[in-house]
Amino acid sequence: MGTTAGRATGEPDAERRRGAFSSRRVFILAAIGSAVGLGNIWRFPYVAYENGGGAFVLPYLVALLTAGIPFLLLDYAIGHRHRGSAPLSFARLRRGTEGLGWWQVGICFLIAVYYAAVIAWALRYTFFSLDGAWGADPEGFFFGEFLQAGDVQVTTDVVPGVLVPLVLVWLAVLAIMVLGVQRGIGATSLVFIPVLVLAFAALVVQALLLPGAATGLDALFTPDWSALTSAPVWAAAFGQIFFSLSIGFGIMITYASYVGRREDMIGSGLVVGFSNSGFELLAGIGVFAALGFMAQASGVPVGEVASDGIGLAFIAFPAIISEAPAGALLGVLFFGSLVIAGITSLVSVIEVVISAVRDKLDTSRRTATLVVGVPAAVLSLVLFSTTSGIYVLDVVDHFVNQYGILVVALVSMLVVVWVLRALAGLGEHLNVHGRPRVGAGWRVLTSFVAPVGLAVVLVLALRDDLAAPYEDYPGWLLLVFGWLLVVALPVVGFLLARLPWRAGTHLDGPPPGSDPAAPLQAIPTTDPPAGNPPVTGHDEGGTR
Amino acid sequence: MSTAAIVMMVVAMVVIWGGLGLAIASLLRHGAVEDRTEDRRRDP
């Protein structure tokens, strides 16, 4: 029996107000939308190429099956059983662990702030593609004319060409968030994910028809079997799976809390996990087919044109677009895909913060969206629409990923598994309606394989960063926007956990009626009353 | 493309996209069973 904060609980009403996805299909599409992001398109292909090519398939699959999906199911179980945002779910696991949830919320807030900027760049480049605005020098155009990047310093010199699309991105995303879980996030996913798959499939077809495409695919898939004995290659596989699945920092906990109590979370997790990897494979084929064309056109090996991240998207791809037949179409498909994939991921990241604020303060969605979204948007505009935005973004992205997400995911997992010893109960919860059932194998993978995999990735990253300054940035930049930031996150998280919950919040254990095996009539379902349209009935709106 | 590259590309496609197909099929099959079970529970 749990305790409540304040007056008698009205938990079913509270849960109804939180909102919910109208169906399993909507949840799966939203979860895929979260998982499939910029990293699938611009990170996976190069990671695979650099770490054994075709041979990378093996560690990648091992990482997916032994760490990625088990960890994803753990997140699902926590959120689905405890029916709350990350802080509320952890508080319900045990009050003292609430800070872990706020730590995750802080990371999501930071990611949202800089992720929007990259989407804004991609949005602008979608239009640049139409006339090849970068001319013969994509790199000079990107850093010079577009970003107007100067010396490595923090400035307030605004770049209008970045500011305007960034404002548009924030307006679009906040509009989605105000609409709520189903009408905003769910409806966006229902439209965006099929469009993303179709657009990227069209890009892949076009890329495969380019001369030299086979050379690129040969470079990507030719196996280097010696890579299988390299620890960094295995760490790269675990890192890629971990970063691309959106696990361990609150997103999947939050989304799972919006799913009907009787849904199959195991089957859903398998679909989400394989969909994410399926899209990565598609991205690898499309990107390397295009790089093969570029290599052949330039008369150089694929290795000389291959890159990842910003270099791939905003320097290599514009060069390809300039050379390729129907390059404008290729550009619109590529950058349009980045925008769509980015927005569905950004929405999921912000929802972690909004959901936590709503749970804690009992505010309406509209208020919570403003409380979270306006400061995030302002910070984003101030930091990343300036001539120094690229440097700050690069540092924050690196440190938040390597030491924010990785550490909080590892600590959260260890606490749930080894301190709270909650794995058995969570597994039982998943098994009530989930197939195939999880058992001892899942518990072993979650207790040992996944944490060890994450720990190795973390140690290797730490070794690299201690050996040499990241990208040779000045120490003060790395200290302020890197180390201090990631150290501050857990401190702020555990301070926020000291704030009181809204009156009536059920704490210390799953909320009443959360048992998915309970008789149907005893379950305070989030389903709408009979006769009401599902969409409105599942949404909390902004009226409170 | 070399034979090894073609083989690895096909293996990756079969395992990952095949895994996705199996996961979807399993979910649909199990979902249908659940629906029938719930129908019986609603209308004994």
Model confidence pLDDT, tens digit, residues A379-428: 999 999 999 999 999 999 999 988 999 999 999 999 999 999 999 999 99
Task: Considering only the beta carbons, identify the residue of B12, B34, B42 that sits closest to A57.
Answer: B12
Cβ pairs A/B, distance under 8 A? 87
- Which of A483, A487, A375, A494 is CA-nearest to residue A102? A494
Residue of chain A with shortest Cα separation from B28? A267
Structure tokens at A342: 């980015």
Phi/psi class of residue A366: alpha, beta or left (left: φ > 0; alpha: ψ in -120 to 50)? alpha
Per-residue pLDDT, A83: 95
Burial of A520 (0-12, 13-18, 19+ CB in 10 A): exposed
pLDDT at B33 over 70: no
Distance between CA atoms of residues A474 and A68, nearest Å: 35
Task: Considering only the beta carbons, identify the residue of B8, B23, B41 that sits closest to A267.
Answer: B23
For chain A, 544 residues long, give each residue's pLDDT as a single digit of tens: 444 444 444 456 666 788 999 999 999 999 999 999 999 999 999 999 999 999 999 999 999 999 999 999 999 999 999 999 999 999 999 999 999 999 999 999 999 999 999 999 999 999 999 999 999 999 999 999 999 998 888 888 899 999 999 999 999 999 999 999 999 999 999 999 999 999 999 999 999 999 999 999 999 999 999 999 999 999 999 999 999 999 999 999 999 999 999 999 999 999 999 999 999 999 999 999 999 999 999 999 999 999 999 999 999 999 999 999 999 999 999 999 999 999 999 999 999 999 999 999 989 999 999 999 999 999 999 999 999 999 999 999 999 988 999 999 999 999 999 999 999 999 999 999 999 999 999 999 999 999 999 999 999 999 999 999 999 999 999 999 999 999 999 999 999 999 999 888 888 788 877 766 665 444 443 433 333 333 333 445 433 3
Per-residue pLDDT, A518: 62
Long-range contacts of A514-517 (CB under 8 A, 24+ apart): A514/A81, A514/A82, A514/A83, A514/A261, A515/A261, A515/A432, A516/A261, A516/A262, A516/A429, A516/A432, A516/A433, A517/A432
Residue of chain A with shortest Cα separation from B4? A222
Residue of chain A with shortest Cα separation from B24? A271
Q: Where are the beta strands (DSSP E) in A355-401?
A: none
Span B13-24, mean pLDDT?
Answer: 97
Per-residue pLDDT, A530: 36
CB atoms within 10 A of CB A184: 22
- Which of A350, A399, A408 is CA-nearest to residue A379? A350
Distance between CA atoms of residues A163 and A247, nearest Å: 31
> At which residue do the structure tokens 């791809």 appear?
A317
- Global pTM reads 0.91
DSSP conformation letters of A215-253:
HHHHHHHS--GGGGG-HHHHHHHHHHHHHHTT-SSSHHH
> At which residue do the structure tokens 């048992």 appear?
A515
The packing angle between helices A406-414 and A450-467, to 10°, is 150
Contact present, A38 and A244 (Cβ < 8 Å):
no
Distance between CA atoms of residues A192 and A213, nearest Å: 28
Structure tokens at A25: 């299909």
Q: Is A41 on the interface with B (CB under 8 A)?
A: no
Higher local confidence (pLDDT), B32 or A17: A17
Distance from chain centroid for Cα A489: 18
Contact present, A272 and A32 (Cβ < 8 Å):
yes
Q: Is A274 on the interface with B (CB under 8 A)?
A: yes
The packing angle between helices A327-361 and A98-131, to 10°, is 160
pLDDT tens digits for range A6-30: 444 445 666 678 899 999 999 999 9
Binding-face residues of A in 406-435 toward B, CB within 8 A: 433, 435
Task: Considering only the beta carbons, identify the residue of B6, B11, B20 that sits closest to A278.
Answer: B20
Phi, psi values for residue A385, rounded to 5°: -100, 15
Distance between CA atoms of residues A51 and A226, nearest Å: 10
Phi, psi values for residue A264, rounded to 5°: -85, 100
Distance from chain centroid for Cα A452: 22
The CA-atom distances, in angstroms, between A445 and each of A70, A334, A453, A511 are 7, 37, 10, 28
Structure tokens at B14: 């079969």
B27–A221 C-beta distance less than 8 A: no
The packing angle between helices A98-131 and A484-496, to 10°, is 130
Contact present, A35 and A275 (Cβ < 8 Å):
yes
Per-residue pLDDT, A331: 97
Distance between CA atoms of residues B30 and B27, nearest Å: 5
Question: What pairs with residue A5 in β-bridges?
Answer: A505
Per-residue pLDDT, A533: 35
Phi, psi values for residue A473, rounded to 5°: -70, 155
- A84, amino acid identity: G
Per-residue pLDDT, A544: 34
Structure tokens at A168: 């548009």
Structure tokens at A516: 């998915």
Q: Which residues contact A20 (CB under 8 A, 6 or more apart)?
A: A181, A182, A258, A259, A260, A526, A538
Per-residue pLDDT, A318: 96
Residues on B contacting A at a C-beta cutoff of 8 Å: 1-2, 4-9, 11-13, 15-17, 19-20, 23-24, 26-27, 30-31, 34, 38, 41-42
Distance between CA atoms of residues A32 and A344, nearest Å: 9
Distance from chain centroid for Cα B8: 21
Q: Is A402 on the interface with B (CB under 8 A)?
A: no
CB atoms within 10 A of CB A91: 30
Structure tokens at A396: 């924050």
Contact present, A330 and A207 (Cβ < 8 Å):
yes
- Which of A472, A482, A316 is CA-nearest to residue A393? A482
